Amino acid sequence: MIGSAPLCKVAPRLLLALALACVSSLSTQIATAQEKSKSDAKSKSDAKSKSDAKAKGDSKSKGDSADKKSGKGACKPLSVGKFGDWEVLNTSCKDKICYTLAAPQKRLPEGKLKDAKANIFVSTRPSEGVRNEIAINLGYATKDNGAATADVDGNSFDLVTMKESAWLKNPAQEKEFVETMRHGSKLVVKASSAKGTSTTDSYSLKGLSDALTRVQQECK
């Protein structure tokens, strides 16, 4: 198997989008932990006097109200729809983030990539003026500033790698790249691991156009 790097340790430019994926993949565990925490808190509260419980309840109510107004609290990803092979999610953060992502339908060489998870993200962050930013998680360690390519139905774009991620070498091409994918049928990403193993990831673009439209509706 190709030497892997921690999924959430990525180039700064891609940190936010991939962090969202990490949060999404752990959402079930987080929800379970939160339910356990609530249960423990309730047991402790029941053991106290009614007056203390009421005081704490009033305090919590005020705190929750303040948090809602201030935008505090955990930023949880919420799936708002699936379109073909793509899923659209957004976060409950004060500064809303919306993105669509997909996993490759095929990875080569299969034997060395069976335990490595890959994704491509297209994210929008209105508060930062960012729309349709591309981030690709390869799921294995690459050479920093290594060369890679993304091909959409014969239209090739240069990528650059760092840690376990890749993005467009020329950020100015993002709009063109996204539009090419929107009207394309297949995306092929070719890269190499830090050990020199060449890899090929094939993504279906079915549903991407509708997914991107939904992302823009969610984050106007």
Can the peptide bond before residue 109 be classed as cis, meaning omega within 30 degrees of 0? yes
Predicted local confidence at residue 215, as pLDDT: 97
pLDDT tens profile 168-205: 999 999 999 999 999 999 999 999 999 999 999 999 99
pLDDT of residue 144 exceeding 50, the answer is yes
pLDDT digits (tens, 9 = 90+) for 89-129: 999 778 899 999 999 999 999 887 877 899 999 999 999 99
Distance CA 130, CA 90 (A): 14
| Residue-level pLDDT at 19 | 53
Angstrom distance (rounded) from CA 144 to CA 138: 13
The pLDDT tens digits of the residues spanning 48-88 come to: 444 454 444 444 444 444 344 434 445 788 999 999 999 99
pTM of the predicted protein model: 0.69
Q: Which residue has the higher pLDDT, 30 or 94?
A: 94
| CATH for the 77-219 domain, from 2.60.40.1880, 3.40.50.10190, 1.10.3720.10, 3.10.310.10 | 2.60.40.1880
| Residue 124 bridge partners (DSSP) | 98
Q: What average pLDDT does range 139-153 have in this prediction? A: 97
| CA dist., res. 127 & res. 80, Å (int) | 20
Residue 116: predicted pLDDT: 84
**What are the φ and ψ backbone dihedral angles of 204, each rounded to 5 degrees?**
-85, 140
pLDDT at residue 5 tops 70: no
pLDDT score of 174: 96
**212 vs 113 pLDDT, higher one:** 212
152: tokens are: 């959409």
Type of residue numbered 174: E
pLDDT for 6 equals 39
Distance CA 181, CA 136 (A): 14
Query: Please, which pLDDT band fits residue 143 given cuts at 50, 70 and 90?
Result: very high
